[in-house]
Amino acid sequence: MRSDRRSLLVAGLSLSGILAGGAAARPIRDPTDAKLATLELWPDGAPGFPDRAPLELIADRAADPSYQDRAVAGITAPRVSVFQPERPTGASVLLLPGGGYRHVVIDKEGYEMGRWLASRGITAFVLFYRLPGDGWAAGPDVALSDAQRAMRLIRSRAREWGLDPARVNAMGFSAGGHLCADLATRFDRAAYEPVDAADTLSARPDSAACIYPVISMEPGIAHAGSRELLIGSDADAALERAHSPDENVPADAPPFFLLHAEDDASVPVENTLRMRAALKARDLPVETHLFEAGGHGFGLRKAAGKPVEVWPELWLSWARTRNFA
């Protein structure tokens, strides 16, 4: 039954011109950028397939035709698109774009950042993760399972890509910042059943950079849309705590880099402050940068011409100091 449903889905996606299924770790081409290799995460399709398959669709949200601002929803073939530098340093970053757990942003927090990293010798992997509102069996842990699998797959192929398996970092934006913090605090959680030898490797990122992140699921602090799609509007306090990374910091969490604009009207800066306080309480390394202005979702492009535009270089300097980049 499951195989038939997947076959129908793949056929539908192919007709739509959108990336369809295949074997895990098999290079395929990203239809949005022919130069990019893309690797699917799961050898037999993603686990816990919903009874009603979502339809993967890409929308271009850009008001200005001079640049793209695309987002993809209904992801059924979780995957990473790979940005390989000409002269790799051995460092890598798993990029977790935002999108409020409603969709995954492609350009602003994905491909643009991937190109920026690759131009500096850092191999970048943009993760297109499944969304919790689409009915997957893993529920609110579905994106975490994809992030864990991606980290392990990157480490399993480190030699092939010329990577140092001890310098595999994570960077997330907005809801992707929540996923980044979730990965960095719950990397040991069994979010899925092992499928191959890659799953014997650690899913712990060597560092975690959370950029204007959603952190807390507490009403009034949480981004309301992300909270509703992740745990539901009527979630109790126990479920809120289970999916608030600041409530789940282990003693062996990696070093964090946190960055937020204080005038963020979408995700209150309190999210970053809570994450910093939780890390400090555990005596864990954390670098924190707050900007007076910048708003939300600035990425690279929307930061230009503002003081916050220095943020990528701040991260790079911090990462190099710690030998992560």
Q: How far is CA 264 from CA 26, 245, 290, in A?
A: 40, 20, 11
Instruction: Give the chain's domains with CATH numbers.
Output: 48-321 (3.40.50.1820)
pLDDT at 258 over 70: yes
In the predicted structure, residue 32 carries a pLDDT above the cut 90: no
Report pLDDT for 65. Answer: 77
Distance CA 43, CA 93 (A): 22
pLDDT in tens, 208-252: 999 999 999 999 999 999 999 999 999 999 999 999 999 999 999
Q: Which residue has the higher pLDDT, 65 or 146?
A: 146
Q: Pairing state of beta strands 33-40 and 79-83?
A: antiparallel
Q: Would you place residue 63 in the very low, low, confident or very high pLDDT band (cuts 50, 70, 90)?
A: confident
- Judge whether 94 and 158 are in contact, CB under 8 Å: no
Q: What band does 33 get if pLDDT is binned at 50, 70 and 90? A: low
- Please answer whether residues 182 and 243 qualify as being in contact, where contact means their C-beta atoms are separated by less than 8 angstroms: yes
pLDDT at 248: 98
Helix-helix angle 224-231:175-185, to 10 degrees: 50
Kindly report the pTM of this predicted structure: 0.90
Alpha-carbon 90 to chain mean position: 20
